């Protein structure tokens, strides 16, 4: 089976073609970072309009690069939610329309299921069951994964997601949007130990997260300590270390609670080098394994949607002609495959 995957949940337009025998045939991605940079964050209406402009040309290029004609596509997968409703409507409308025109089934994919399965695009792929840490600008959650569609949320953020806290703190430090990667780069020149930030919600049982207070702590430190370059770097390092330590502590608890030895990390923040190194050390000490998507598949992309959609299409799932966007969509509500 050969599937066209479409991702338009936020500010990146992703298109890919995945074949269940040949693997990933093409992968196209357009980022709207420059479009939203002047506003310091994503403007939903601008994001939707840019998806309209870029999506069809990207689909044409993906087909060309994959040496695939419309007649060779067996199904279309599109991100149905969660995300910005206008952006989701662009992908779902185009995806469902193409499927109807080509006479093939279409399926809506849960955005976070796409991230969760992104490590499956590489070899070796993690075997079920495992614990997944989904960590991005919009989500921070720990999930027990027994199989595709068989998910149990163990913990999640009660306020800001980790990626959101990264971006907001970066803005306080005077960094451009998106600030998360820039903060990580600034932290590389920071002095360890000059500032010590709290590790939120680690002094109590449970697996939920909270990063809003950590961002406020950073804001107060920046206000009190000034803005010379070294101080900014030291604050960035202290903030990043606090986030990493918090995520590691919660992952260790989740693994101990479930008794599992495999950990999957996915989402935009999974590209953070410090986090990868810390989790690699955690799993080495515990005798377990950790799996990541390759860097290009950490952020939103069409390849993960094509892969996840293929699994559901092969199971016989498909959308009606009236498929709608689902800006809010609990992961645990998905049907098992």
Mean pLDDT of the 286-298 span: 95
Query: Do 145 and 130 meet the contact criterion of CB atoms below 8 Å apart?
Result: yes
- The answer on whether 138 is annotated among ligand-binding residues is yes
- What element of type H or E holds 5? strand 2-7
Angle between helices 179-187 and 162-172 (to 10 degrees): 70
What is the average pLDDT across 165-177?
94
Is-contact 289 184, C-beta < 8 A?
Answer: no
Model pLDDT, residue 227: 79
Q: Is residue 300 a known part of a binding site?
A: yes
Integer Cα distance of 212 and 35 in angstroms:
27
- Residue 131, sorted as left (phi over 0), alpha (psi -120 to 50) or beta, turns out to be beta
> How confident is the model over 126-154, as pLDDT tens digits?
999 999 999 998 899 999 999 999 999 99
Tell me if 134 is assigned to a ligand binding site.
yes
136 labelled binding-site residue: yes
Ramachandran category for residue 23: left, alpha or beta (phi over 0 → left; psi -120 to 50 → alpha):
left
111 belongs to an annotated ligand binding site? yes
For tokens 């306080």, name the residue. 172
180 marked as binding residue: yes
Q: Where does the pLDDT of residue 226 fall: very low under 50, low under 70, confident under 90, or very high at 90 and above? A: confident
Mean pLDDT on 251-271:
97
| Average pLDDT of the residues of the chain | 96
- 59-105 per-position pLDDT tens digit: 999 999 999 999 999 999 999 999 999 999 999 999 999 999 999 99
**C-alpha torsion sign, points 171, 165, 30, 124:** positive
Q: Is 123 annotated as a binding residue?
A: no
Question: Is 137 known as a binding-site position?
Answer: yes
Task: Answer yes or no: is 23 a known binding residue.
Answer: no
The pTM of the full predicted model, rounded to 2 decimals, is 0.95
Q: Is residue 59 within 8 Å of residue 15, measured between CB atoms? A: yes
């Amino acid at each position: 089976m050969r599937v066209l995957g479409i991702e338009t949940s936020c500010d990146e337009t992703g298109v890919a073609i995945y074949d269940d025998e040949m693997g990933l045939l093409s992968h196209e991605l357009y980022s709207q970072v420059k479009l939203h940079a002047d506003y310091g964050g994503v403007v939903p209406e601008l994001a939707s309009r840019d998806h309209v402009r870029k999506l069809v040309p990207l689909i044409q290029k993906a087909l060309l690069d994959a040496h695939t004609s419309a007649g060779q596509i067996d199904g279309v997968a599109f991100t149905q939610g969660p995300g910005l409703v206008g952006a989701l409507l662009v992908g779902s409308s185009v995806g469902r329309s193409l499927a109807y025109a080509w006479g093939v089934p279409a399926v809506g994919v849960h955005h976070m299921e796409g991230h969760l399965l992104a490590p499956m695009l590489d070899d070796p792929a993690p075997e079920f069951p495992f614990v997944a840490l989904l960590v991005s600008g919009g989500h921070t959650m720990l999930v027990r994964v027994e199989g595709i569609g068989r998910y149990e949320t163990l913990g999640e953020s009660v306020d800001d997601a980790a990626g959101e806290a990264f971006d907001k703190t970066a803005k306080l430090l005077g960094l451009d949007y998106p600030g998360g990667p820039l903060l990580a780069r600034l932290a590389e020149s920071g002095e360890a130990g000059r500032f010590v930030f709290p590790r939120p919600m680690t002094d109590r049982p449970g697996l939920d997260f909270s990063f809003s207070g950590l961002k406020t702590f950073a804001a107060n430190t920046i206000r009190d300590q000034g803005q010379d370059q070294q101080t900014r770097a030291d604050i960035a390092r202290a903030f990043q270390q606090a986030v990493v330590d918090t995520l590691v502590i919660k992952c260790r608890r989740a693994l101990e609670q479930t008794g599992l030895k495999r950990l999957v990390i996915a989402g935009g923040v999974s590209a953070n080098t410090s986090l990868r190194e810390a989790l690699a050390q955690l799993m080495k000490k515990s005798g377990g394994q950790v799996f990541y998507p390759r860097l290009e598949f950490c952020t939103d992309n069409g390849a993960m949607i094509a892969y996840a959609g293929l699994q559901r299409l092969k199971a016989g799932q498909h959308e009606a002609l009236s498929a709608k966007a689902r800006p809010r969509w609990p992961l645990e509500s998905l049907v098992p495959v």
